[in-house]
């Protein structure tokens, strides 16, 4: 079971490699990837350096080109594919079938991993991407239960990668347009969700208000932890009831069920967080390296102390195994 870790910049890449990642995933400095944030991602020079560093330590480098190009910007995506392949990236993580089609015009067997943004949740969908684009692996959306994931891993025509840790997206990835509804920019088109340029914090004395493009996402009293106004994680009114109508600021942590994931033949665990700091990447990579080694080599489960330790790094300081457990759904 491989450990796939996020690298939003060169320093994070070093930390991930040094702490035991089997592969790191990066993005280019443009909207072709789903973490198109200011100050993140790699220039051509950094990619070359990063690949050299990683390959020397037997770690692979994946590049996410996983947003959906609109026709007018099509060449930005194909140029990015050319750049990544020519620089020696090991694998591309892709969601759009047009981009996959383009990769196949260049090479019949270049490794393509189906991005979580393609929202492929079932056998026939995986058959589709396998048969028509020869994908090698698929990253599953965070919507399936553990039983469903296990079953799929056994029957799928491709390797299966699942999210293990990090920020929790509650919607089926690639199928959520809430961000463009509110701001005009979405994960699919711009590689952003609830983009920072639209965020406004207003200090109203006893309360702190967070807004996205003018709309109130949440209000925090002084003793509350004020999280980033990701639009699905605010407090809203439904039938006069004030609640986290969609989700609370909670993170995903699947270390509890790692033995089950291992048994079902999952090929890789993915850690979310290209937007997080190098120190975070180091800590999380180390913890997951140890956990995977324990489970796969010594056949034991992960001690609760390790799981709890990771909890401190989580958004909102709370973790869940999310949709893997039916009760969350």
Return all residues near 259 (Cβ < 8 A) that are at least 6 apart. 295, 301
Q: Residue 300 or 327: which CB sits closer to another protein?
A: 327
Least separation in angstroms between CB 61 and another protein: 26
The residue whose two tokens read 């990447």 is 281
The window from 12-20, 121-129, 289-297, 304-312 that contacts another protein (CB under 8 A) reads: 121-129
Question: Which of 46, 125, 275, 306 contacts another protein by CB under 8 A?
Answer: 125
Helix/strand/coil for 200 = strand
Least separation in angstroms between CB 144 and another protein: 6
Q: Please list every residue from 89 through 108 that binds another protein, using CB under 8 A.
A: 95-99, 101-102
Contact between 263 and another protein (CB under 8 A)? no
Q: Residue 129 or 288: which CB sits closer to another protein?
A: 129
Question: Which of 170, 252, 258, 271 contacts another protein by CB under 8 A?
Answer: 170
How does 204-220 read in b/e, with b if 16+ C-beta sit within 10 Å?
eeeebbbbbbeeebbbb
Contact between 30 and another protein (CB under 8 A)? no
Least separation in angstroms between CB 217 and another protein: 7
Q: Please list every residue from 171 through 200 that binds another protein, using CB under 8 A.
A: 171-172, 174-178, 180-184, 186, 188-189
Return all residues near 77 (Cβ < 8 A) that are at least 6 apart. 32, 65, 67, 69, 96, 98, 99, 102
User: What span, in angstroms and rounded, lies between the C-alpha atoms of 45 and 84?
Assistant: 12
Binding residues with another protein: total (CB under 8 A): 74
User: Could you tell me whether strands 60-65 and 23-26 are parallel, antiparallel, or unpaired per DSSP bridges?
Assistant: parallel
Least separation in angstroms between CB 167 and another protein: 15
Closest-CA residue to 103 (of 73, 80, 81): 81
Q: Residue 242 or 279: which CB sits closer to another protein?
A: 242
User: What span, in angstroms and rounded, lies between the C-alpha atoms of 268 and 24?
Assistant: 12
Contact between 129 and another protein (CB under 8 A)? yes
User: What span, in angstroms and rounded, lies between the C-alpha atoms of 3 and 195?
Assistant: 29
């Amino acid at each position: 079971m491989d450990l796939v870790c996020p690298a939003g910049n060169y320093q994070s890449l070093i930390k991930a490699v040094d702490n035991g990642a089997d592969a790191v995933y990066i993005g280019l400095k443009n909207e072709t990837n789903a973490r198109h944030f200011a100050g993140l991602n790699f220039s051509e020079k950094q990619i070359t350096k990063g690949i050299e560093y990683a390959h020397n330590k037997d770690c692979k480098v994946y590049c996410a080109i996983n947003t959906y190009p609109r026709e007018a910007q099509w060449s930005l995506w194909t140029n990015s594919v050319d750049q990544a392949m020519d620089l020696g990236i090991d694998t591309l993580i892709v969601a759009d079938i047009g981009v996959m089609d383009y990769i196949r015009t260049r090479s019949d067997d270049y490794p393509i991993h189906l991005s979580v943004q393609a929202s492929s949740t079932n056998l026939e969908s995986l058959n589709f991407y396998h048969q028509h684009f020869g994908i090698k692996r698929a990253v599953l959306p965070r919507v399936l239960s553990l039983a469903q994931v296990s079953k799929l891993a056994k029957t799928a025509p491709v390797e299966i990668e699942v999210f293990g840790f990090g920020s929790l997206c509650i919607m089926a990835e690639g199928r959520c347009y809430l961000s463009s509804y509110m701001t005009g920019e979405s994960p699919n088109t711009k590689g952003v969700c609830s983009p920072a340029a639209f965020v406004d914090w207003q200090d109203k004395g006893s309360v702190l208000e967070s807004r996205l493009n003018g709309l109130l996402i949440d209000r925090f009293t002084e003793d509350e932890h004020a999280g980033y106004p990701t639009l699905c994680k605010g407090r809203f009114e439904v039938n006069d009831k004030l609640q986290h109508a969609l989700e609370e600021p909670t993170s995903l942590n699947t270390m509890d069920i790692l033995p089950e994931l291992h048994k079902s033949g999952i090929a890789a665990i993915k850690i979310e967080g290209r937007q997080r700091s190098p120190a975070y990447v180091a800590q999380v990579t180390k913890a997951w390296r140890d956990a995977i080694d324990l489970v796969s080599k010594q056949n034991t489960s992960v001690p609760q102390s390790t799981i709890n330790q990771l909890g401190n790094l989580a958004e909102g300081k709370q973790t869940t195994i999310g949709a893997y457990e039916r009760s969350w759904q």
